[in-house]
Amino acid sequence: MRYLIVLLACAGIVLGLAPRVGADVYTVAPDGSGDFPTIQDAIDAASDGDIVLLEDGVFTGYRNRELSFFGKAISLQSQSDDPQLCIIDAEATLEIPRRVINLDNGEGNGTLIRSITVTGGVAPGG
Protein backbone atom coordinates (compact mmCIF):
# COMPACT_ATOMS: atom_id res chain seq x y z
CA MET A 1 0.00 0.00 0.00
CA ARG A 2 1.51 3.33 -1.07
CA TYR A 3 0.70 6.65 0.52
CA LEU A 4 1.69 10.11 -0.52
CA ILE A 5 2.91 12.13 2.44
CA VAL A 6 1.65 15.68 2.32
CA LEU A 7 3.41 18.45 4.17
CA LEU A 8 1.64 21.78 4.46
CA ALA A 9 2.96 24.97 5.98
CA CYS A 10 0.28 27.36 7.06
CA ALA A 11 0.56 28.85 10.55
CA GLY A 12 2.58 25.77 11.43
CA ILE A 13 3.28 22.38 9.93
CA VAL A 14 0.62 19.71 9.46
CA LEU A 15 1.57 16.19 8.47
CA GLY A 16 -1.09 13.92 7.04
CA LEU A 17 -1.72 11.01 4.75
CA ALA A 18 -3.44 11.49 1.43
CA PRO A 19 -5.10 8.67 -0.51
CA ARG A 20 -2.62 6.44 -2.32
CA VAL A 21 -1.49 7.59 -5.72
CA GLY A 22 -3.81 6.18 -8.36
CA ALA A 23 -6.77 5.60 -6.04
CA ASP A 24 -9.76 4.08 -7.81
CA VAL A 25 -13.14 5.82 -7.78
CA TYR A 26 -16.26 3.65 -7.96
CA THR A 27 -19.62 5.28 -8.71
CA VAL A 28 -22.95 3.89 -7.50
CA ALA A 29 -26.42 5.22 -8.38
CA PRO A 30 -29.65 4.58 -6.48
CA ASP A 31 -31.16 2.86 -9.55
CA GLY A 32 -28.35 0.27 -9.58
CA SER A 33 -26.42 1.80 -12.46
CA GLY A 34 -22.86 2.94 -12.16
CA ASP A 35 -19.75 0.87 -11.66
CA PHE A 36 -21.52 -1.40 -9.15
CA PRO A 37 -25.23 -2.10 -8.52
CA THR A 38 -25.02 -1.55 -4.74
CA ILE A 39 -22.96 0.38 -2.23
CA GLN A 40 -21.75 -2.82 -0.55
CA ASP A 41 -20.58 -4.24 -3.89
CA ALA A 42 -18.44 -1.12 -4.41
CA ILE A 43 -17.08 -1.26 -0.86
CA ASP A 44 -16.24 -4.95 -1.32
CA ALA A 45 -14.22 -4.12 -4.47
CA ALA A 46 -12.47 -1.10 -2.97
CA SER A 47 -8.98 -1.10 -1.48
CA ASP A 48 -7.44 1.26 1.05
CA GLY A 49 -7.39 4.78 -0.37
CA ASP A 50 -10.20 4.21 -2.88
CA ILE A 51 -13.37 6.31 -3.10
CA VAL A 52 -16.95 5.06 -3.36
CA LEU A 53 -18.89 7.94 -4.88
CA LEU A 54 -22.68 7.96 -4.50
CA GLU A 55 -24.86 9.76 -7.01
CA ASP A 56 -27.73 11.86 -5.65
CA GLY A 57 -30.88 10.06 -4.58
CA VAL A 58 -32.12 7.67 -1.91
CA PHE A 59 -30.34 4.33 -1.51
CA THR A 60 -32.52 1.54 -0.07
CA GLY A 61 -32.70 -2.22 -0.12
CA TYR A 62 -30.39 -5.15 0.34
CA ARG A 63 -26.66 -4.28 0.15
CA ASN A 64 -27.47 -0.56 0.36
CA ARG A 65 -27.88 -0.82 4.14
CA GLU A 66 -26.08 -2.60 6.98
CA LEU A 67 -22.89 -1.61 5.18
CA SER A 68 -19.58 -3.00 6.41
CA PHE A 69 -16.22 -1.48 5.54
CA PHE A 70 -14.29 -4.57 6.77
CA GLY A 71 -11.59 -2.34 8.25
CA LYS A 72 -10.78 -0.67 4.94
CA ALA A 73 -9.50 2.91 4.86
CA ILE A 74 -11.79 4.10 2.08
CA SER A 75 -14.02 7.11 1.48
CA LEU A 76 -17.77 6.85 1.04
CA GLN A 77 -19.05 10.20 -0.18
CA SER A 78 -21.74 11.91 -2.20
CA GLN A 79 -20.90 13.05 -5.70
CA SER A 80 -22.63 16.40 -5.20
CA ASP A 81 -21.15 16.97 -1.72
CA ASP A 82 -24.70 17.80 -0.54
CA PRO A 83 -26.00 15.47 2.22
CA GLN A 84 -29.58 16.61 1.59
CA LEU A 85 -29.40 15.08 -1.89
CA CYS A 86 -27.64 11.80 -1.03
CA ILE A 87 -29.42 9.57 1.48
CA ILE A 88 -28.95 6.00 2.70
CA ASP A 89 -32.16 4.73 4.31
CA ALA A 90 -32.07 1.42 6.20
CA GLU A 91 -35.90 1.28 6.25
CA ALA A 92 -35.78 -0.38 9.68
CA THR A 93 -38.60 -0.90 12.15
CA LEU A 94 -38.63 -2.16 15.72
CA GLU A 95 -39.84 -5.49 14.33
CA ILE A 96 -37.13 -5.54 11.64
CA PRO A 97 -34.09 -3.74 13.10
CA ARG A 98 -31.32 -2.77 10.70
CA ARG A 99 -28.29 -0.56 10.92
CA VAL A 100 -27.30 1.81 8.16
CA ILE A 101 -23.52 1.39 8.52
CA ASN A 102 -21.43 -0.92 10.71
CA LEU A 103 -17.98 0.35 11.61
CA ASP A 104 -16.89 -2.50 13.83
CA ASN A 105 -13.89 -4.03 12.08
CA GLY A 106 -11.09 -1.71 13.17
CA GLU A 107 -11.81 1.19 10.85
CA GLY A 108 -9.66 4.17 11.72
CA ASN A 109 -8.83 7.69 10.65
CA GLY A 110 -8.47 6.63 7.02
CA THR A 111 -12.16 5.70 6.81
CA LEU A 112 -14.29 8.64 5.73
CA ILE A 113 -18.04 9.05 5.31
CA ARG A 114 -18.78 12.48 3.85
CA SER A 115 -21.83 14.47 2.76
CA ILE A 116 -24.32 11.62 3.13
CA THR A 117 -27.48 11.54 5.21
CA VAL A 118 -27.99 8.22 6.99
CA THR A 119 -31.48 7.53 8.27
CA GLY A 120 -33.96 4.84 9.15
CA GLY A 121 -31.66 2.69 11.23
CA VAL A 122 -32.75 0.82 14.35
CA ALA A 123 -30.20 -1.16 16.34
CA PRO A 124 -31.25 -4.67 17.44
CA GLY A 125 -32.91 -4.45 20.84
CA GLY A 126 -33.23 -0.73 20.33
For 54-77, the pLDDT digits (tens) are 999 999 999 999 999 999 999 999
The helix (H) or strand (E) run that includes residue 26 is strand 25-28
Residue 102 banded pLDDT, cuts 50, 70, 90? very high
b/e code 42-54 from CB counts within 10 Å (16+ = b): bbeebebbbbbbb
Residue 125 banded pLDDT, cuts 50, 70, 90? confident
Residue 83: DSSP 8-state: T
| Residue 9 scores a pLDDT above 50 | no
- For CA atoms 16, 17, 22, 27, give the dihedral sign: negative
pTM for this prediction? 0.81
